[in-house]
Amino acid sequence: MSRLLVPPGEGRGLRVRAGTPFKVVDVDGGQVGDLFAFTADDPGEYASASHTRPSTGRLFPRPGQNVLTNLRRPILELVEDNSPGYHDTLYAACDAARYRSLGVDAPHRSCAQNLGESIAALGLPGVVVPQPLNVFMDVRVDSDGEMSSRPASSGAGDHLIFRALLDCYVILSSCPMDIVPISSGGITALAIDVDDQLSTGTAPLRGSAPGGELQPSSRMTA
């Protein structure tokens, strides 16, 4: 078992074989992450929150339900969720325009930038920025349709386990949003735990940035 650490406010990614479980971990607690997945054969096909919601009838899948691509094919299965269970599929990935709209004039990292850098480091062509699965992000919708976000309530070590249903590239961004308080306790690290032998079958995996080699981690059950 190996761990790909996603540094605070940055993104990392790796290729995962169909059938392989992987764990998305909130290392220190209270950190929102943007999770993306692109099919290995065609990065133009990707995990789509807007296509998943009608299939599951929920704002976020329950364990045993699938995440669909923009072509409505299952790409990930949610196997386990030991967090408080608050995750979001309504908010777009933060980007430069979002920060400008919040009054930020200086350059600011974003999940869109993190995705672009991770995709490039994996040697893939440029891709659109899909609406992500915002793991550990607490967004509520009231009976009048009003949305509100709250600081993440996930604790240190809380995790989600997914199983890849297609060969795919998985990218995780530790959301750098520090203007709207969606993460609690500052911007901290996330991690992806994966069985590198199942995922590659050959050499050890490497992450999508310099120094991003996967490191030994604890055993994962799924």
pLDDT of residue 81: 98
Question: What pLDDT is recorded for position 210?
Answer: 45
Q: What is the pLDDT of residue 198?
A: 56
Q: pLDDT value at position 197?
A: 61
pLDDT at 196: 64
pLDDT of 206: 45
0.85 surpassed by pTM: yes
List all residues 6 or more positions away from 193 whose beta carbon is below 8 Å from its beta carbon: 1, 2, 3, 4, 22, 23, 25, 159, 217, 218, 220
DSSP of 28-70, one letter per residue?
SBS--EEEEEEESS-TTSBB-HHHHHHHHTSSSPPTT-EEEBT
Q: Which residues of the chain have pLDDT under 50?
A: 200-206, 210-212, 218-219, 221-222
Predicted pLDDT at 70: 98
Record the tokens describing residue 3, joined without a space: 């761990």
pLDDT at 201 (0 to 100) = 36
* CA separation for the pair 91, 43 (Å, rounded): 21
pLDDT of residue 33: 98
- At 126 the pLDDT is 87
Q: What is the pLDDT of residue 215?
A: 55
